Amino acid sequence: MKTLLKPLLASVLLFSTLVSGGLHAQASTSGKPVAISADNAVLLTVFLKHDQSRNLNEIRTKLTEQELFKVFPPEGVEIVSWTIAMGIGHVIVLRFPASRLREVNLAIERSAWGPFRTEFFPTYDYMDIVAAEQSKVRKAAPAK
């Protein structure tokens, strides 16, 4: 049962990402700005989990050899955030046109495999919904 849930959840999230509204950004392809709109944008959260059998110097050496920062992300893919989660590794949120998914995947395969185990999660921006719900609840709450 558990093995069926992850693909199902990923499919639902990807579908939600593709149809959700509120995503407006600018990305550059060959130096020209390209609008990423709600109807063609996806958000992708990428986990690059550290290979804990290697120390940091070994990981950095391998990343340099594989040119991670030259190859990833491909030009025109927006980095929404890039953080480190201690004990896990890199957590990267990208925004890009859905048609570029294969290119993003190949960039990860070519530059991050080895020093990292990878996981991908289609995601969507929920902040507008949270703000609307908070506003609705706060307006309905009696004044103290």
137 within domain boundaries: no
Using CA atoms, how far apart are residues 78 and 29, in angstroms rounded to an integer? 11
Asked whether the predicted pLDDT for residue 56 surpasses 80, the reply is yes
Residue 134 CB partners (closer than 8 Å, separation 6+): none
Question: Looking at residue 67, what is its pLDDT?
Answer: 94
Q: Examine residue 53 and state whether it is found in any structural domain, yes or no.
A: yes
Q: What is the mean pLDDT of residues 4-14?
A: 41
pLDDT band, very low/low/confident/very high, at 23 (cuts 50, 70, 90): very low
Distance CA 59, CA 65 (A): 10
Q: What is the mean pLDDT of residues 126-135?
A: 92
Q: What does the block give as tokens for 95?
A: 């925004």
Provide the domain count of the chain: 1
Inside any domain, residue 140: no
Among 11-20, 43-52, 92-101, which is the least confidently predicted range?
Answer: 11-20
Residue 134 lies in a domain: no
The pLDDT tens digits of the residues spanning 61-120 come to 999 999 999 999 999 999 999 999 998 999 999 999 999 999 999 999 999 999 999 999
Q: Is the pLDDT of residue 144 over 80?
A: no
* Residue 142 is assigned to a structural domain of this protein: no
**Residues counted in the chain:** 144
> What radius of gyration do the chain's Cα atoms show?
18
> For residue 31, what pLDDT is reported?
45
Six-digit token pair at 131? 């703000």
Structural domain range at position 44: 2-127
